[in-house]
Amino acid sequence: MSRRNRKYAVPGVARDMQTFKAEVMRREGYDVDPNRPDDVKYEVAKDLGVPLSPDGNGELTTESVGHVGGKIGGSMVREMIRLAQQQLAEKDGQK
- Inter-residue contact 45 to 51 (CB < 8 Å): yes
Tens of each residue's pLDDT in the chain, 95 residues: 445 667 889 988 988 998 999 999 999 999 998 888 889 999 999 999 999 998 888 899 999 999 999 999 999 999 999 999 999 999 887 76
d(CA 95, CA 93): 6
pLDDT value at position 94?
75
Contact 48, 68 (CB under 8 A): yes
**Closest residue by Cα to residue 50 from 39, 40, 61:** 61
In the chain, domain spans: 14-93
Q: What is the pLDDT of residues 44-69, one digit of tens each?
A: 999 999 999 988 888 999 999 999 99
Separation between Cα atoms, residue 23 and residue 75, nearest integer Å: 11
